[in-house]
Structure 1
Amino acid sequence: MNFTHWWQLLFYGFCLITLIQLFYYAFFFMRLVMYKPSPKTTSQTHPVSVIICSRDEAANLAKNLPGSLVQQYRTTHEVIVVNDNSYDDSKYLLEEFQKTFKQLHVVELKQEAKFIPGKKFPLSVGIKTAKYEVVLLTDADCVPASEFWIDKMQASYDEDTEIVLGYGAYHKKTGLLNKLVRWETFHTALQYLSYALAGKPYMGVGRNLSYKKTVFFRHKGFSAHNNVASGDDDLFITTAATPANTKINIDADTFTLSEPAKTFGQWMKQKKRHYSTAKYYKGIHKFLLGLYSFSQFLFYPLLVASILFYGWQFALIVFGVRFIMQAIVFYVCMKKLNKKNLYPWFLFFDIWMFFYYLIFSMALVRKPKRAW
């Protein structure tokens, strides 16, 4: 076979990779583009238990906890902070908050769960302590985007719903790293929200996640993956979520905001820990996510090779079809998730994903650390 045939096969490979990408945009991501919440014929409010786990996070609690305590919610609710073996001033800070906010309950943990790494043990304690069926989870470094967070998250529940997936964003800051962090967070949300709409929910984020205690106890909490340091959010959703019992909520009032990593090293540490749980996903989810990442990783190398060695006109036509589809999906979804300021950068971010996969691929084979 001569070189002409080799470059022809390479171009055909580029076309195949592009078709795979277009499948994901058309079958999955367009669902989020077209998504509109179903109108509710009846309105019902539920008592809610907000649960926040904290370890040595006095500064974050002082800054963010008031956002959960001043929620405008007319029905009974409580805010539970599980203070997990903190050595800082968290205990005294929480005692001061309790003097003003009667709905605040504090659980002080004095012993470590040696064989259950991460925050699964304190979170399990918080859920068992909760008085109400609907629990709403966030982190100490998160603040609700509005005072209607509780009200609008719980409004997603009906008689069939047991899990509600929310969106946990990061504060907008200056600098390239902040843009990369917020892009990656958007890109992850684009996937897990779209998959849930397609009837294949596989993860949520602990920064903004709600479910019923019933479904938690039915699946024996986190027992299926207690040995894994992370996964209190995504692995539990992988285990418990079904097409029938899971909804999403992308009302801007339901978003939470977190402080982004300040250095590239901090961000790498966060992402490696997250991706270390992917190996425990269900087979269908691993296949779909892996195929998408693989096709995205190969797209630009094959584009460049096709331009150089086959025919730039044909290569750019194929590229243009995908670019138009991306432009539509990203514009609408970024608007819905309040990330329109990232839209002018989307082509840069798309190219960046090639390097992103190179950097973080080792996280899929390394053993995660057994810590918070």
Structure 2
Amino acid sequence: MERLSSAYAYLWETCGPWGIALLACMIILFFVQFWYWVGYYGRIPSYRNARAGDARPPVSVALVVHEPDYDFLENGLPVLLGQEYDDFEIIVTDLSGDVEFGEALAVIAEHNPRFNVTRMVRDARFPISDKMAFNVAIKAARYDNILLTTVDSRPASLQWIARMARGFDGAGIVIGYCGMEGASAFSSRLIRLDNAARAIRWLSAAMHGKPYRGTLQNIGFTKALYFGNGGFNYLNMNIGEDDLFIQKLLETGTAAAVIVSSNSTVRQKIWGGTGWWYADRCMRSNAFRHYPAKVKTFVAAELWSRALFFAAAAAAVVLFPPELKLFAAGLLLIRFGLIFFEMRRITRRLSEKGLMRAVPLYDLCSPLYEAWMAADRKFRRSPGLWR
């Protein structure tokens, strides 16, 4: 007690009441960050997927083609049709309106019983959304277990369906991970890291039994569950298939399974630089305002505690006496080391490579980035958001 009293007297004399308050805030914020990264996000590397059982349920994979995409025909579709699984089908809703491309799809369907094509005719007066196109594909599905993906993403393994199908044993929703395809440019690394960092939040929440979203490129549910809840008709927006609709399904008490491995991952194509990524993120993040309050608090608390910790540590380094400057700097370095250690473990589990060099910059700037995006969403409407 005498030592504590002496330490308090020293702090009061050298820092004053505001300095003590700043020091206390910095320590509390450090432990908040510790809880997020070790106690919550740290679940990802050690998480156990559903084990392979005797049941291998038939699966329908649904996706939508918007434009003539011959790269998909030559490289993406063969990976889907070549999946090492007994009972599955690939259903494509063709919105391209291109005769030649449509004929190419028809030829493939004619020679492969596992491939089916549905077509929708575009009308400028009545735009067709992804939700409508997926509705058509899911209606045409022969099997009750549905996996969704997109033409700009492809499975990283021929075991993708087999791994994801395990989740249907005891769960109505199956959540997988989608990474961005690798690139050496630093902007591409930031895009991949931002994608992984957001996935860490919802994957860890699902692993703790509190799922709130997935990713359209790699998610599944049963056909009965889909139509029993009205299908993709939530709000009049062109987004929400992998978060708002999933939240609606979860309200019914439906169980969700998480499958994360190198074989269950899909990779999405990077279509541009940071400008393209920001515009896409800004539009899709409009769904966040409709999330449950506890989810918004969970996400915001990590970002705010991180930003305030950086601010408190910087103020302490500037204002405190030398020995306390060292303490603040040491606490800051410990946190960076902790984040680096956990991110290395998590990215290995997610099969993400080459991201660690960008982690310090992203860790420091992402709270400001998210705040800017939130302000942008509030004052500027994203094109293509509403039907």
Structure 2 length as normaliser, TM-score?
0.87
Over aligned residue pairs, what C-alpha RMSD do you find? 2.6
Structure 1 residue identity aligned to 2:168: Y
8 A contact 1:276–1:367 mirrored in 2: no
Whether 1:229 and 2:238 are equivalent positions in the alignment is yes
8 A contact 1:83–1:90 mirrored in 2: no
Equivalent residue number for residue 107 of structure 1: 118
Whether 1:190 and 2:203 are equivalent positions in the alignment is no
Equivalent position to 1:22, from 23, 34, 38: 34
Distance 1:211 1:319 in 2: 43
Query: How do 1:86-235 and structure 2 match up within 5 A?
Result: 86-87=97-98, 89-111=100-122, 118-158=129-169, 160-225=170-235, 227-235=236-244
Equivalent residue number for residue 240 of structure 1: 249
Q: CA deviation at 1:6?
A: 3.3
Deviations 1:258-306 (A, max 9, x none): 1113222111111101211101111211111121222233332332222
Question: SS at the partner of 1:314?
Answer: helix
Moved more, 345-354 or 359-368: 359-368
Structure 1 residue identity aligned to 2:187: L
Unaligned runs of 5+ in 2: 1-11
Structure 1 residue identity aligned to 2:140: T
Distance 2:131 2:175 in 1: 18
Gap change, CA 1:102 and 1:245, over 3 Å in 2: same
Equivalent residue number for residue 70 of structure 1: 82
Gap change, CA 1:114 and 1:30, over 3 Å in 2: farther
Equivalent position to 1:301, from 294, 308, 311: 311
Equivalent residue number for residue 370 of structure 1: 384
Question: SS at the partner of 2:238?
Answer: coil
Equivalent residue number for residue 262 of structure 2: 252
Distance 1:43 1:239 in 2: 31
Q: CA deviation at 1:132?
A: 0.6
Q: CA deviation at 1:233?
A: 1.0
Gap change, CA 1:47 and 1:358, over 3 Å in 2: same
Q: CA deviation at 1:252?
A: 0.8
Unaligned runs of 5+ in 1: none
Moved more, 205-214 or 353-362: 353-362
Equivalent position to 1:351, from 341, 346, 364: 364
Question: SS at the partner of 2:41?
Answer: helix
Equivalent residue number for residue 54 of structure 1: 65
Gap change, CA 1:112 and 1:283, over 3 Å in 2: farther
8 A contact 1:138–1:209 mirrored in 2: yes
Moved more, 167-176 or 30-39: 30-39
Question: SS at the partner of 1:296?
Answer: helix
Distance 2:18 2:107 in 1: 72
8 A contact 1:275–1:363 mirrored in 2: no
Q: CA deviation at 1:80?
A: 0.5
Equivalent residue number for residue 325 of structure 1: 338
Q: CA deviation at 1:93?
A: 3.0
Query: How do 1:258-273 and structure 2 match up within 5 A?
Result: 258-273=268-283
Equivalent residue number for residue 80 of structure 1: 91
Aligned length: 368
Distance 1:288 1:113 in 2: 41
Distance 1:173 1:299 in 2: 32
Distance 1:203 1:53 in 2: 20
Q: CA deviation at 1:66?
A: 1.9
Structure 1 length as normaliser, TM-score?
0.90
8 A contact 1:153–1:254 mirrored in 2: yes
Moved more, 31-40 or 162-171: 31-40
Equivalent position to 1:275, from 263, 281, 285: 285
Identity %: 23
Deviations 1:15-34 (A, max 9, x none): 33222222212332122132
Deviations 1:3-22 (A, max 9, x none): 84434433333333222222
Question: SS at the partner of 1:223?
Answer: coil
Distance 1:369 1:125 in 2: 25
Question: SS at the partner of 1:233?
Answer: coil
Distance 1:281 1:240 in 2: 13
Q: Which has the larger radius of gyration?
A: 2
Equivalent residue number for residue 48 of structure 2: 36
Moved more, 342-351 or 143-152: 342-351
Structure 1 residue identity aligned to 2:351: N
Whether 1:291 and 2:301 are equivalent positions in the alignment is yes
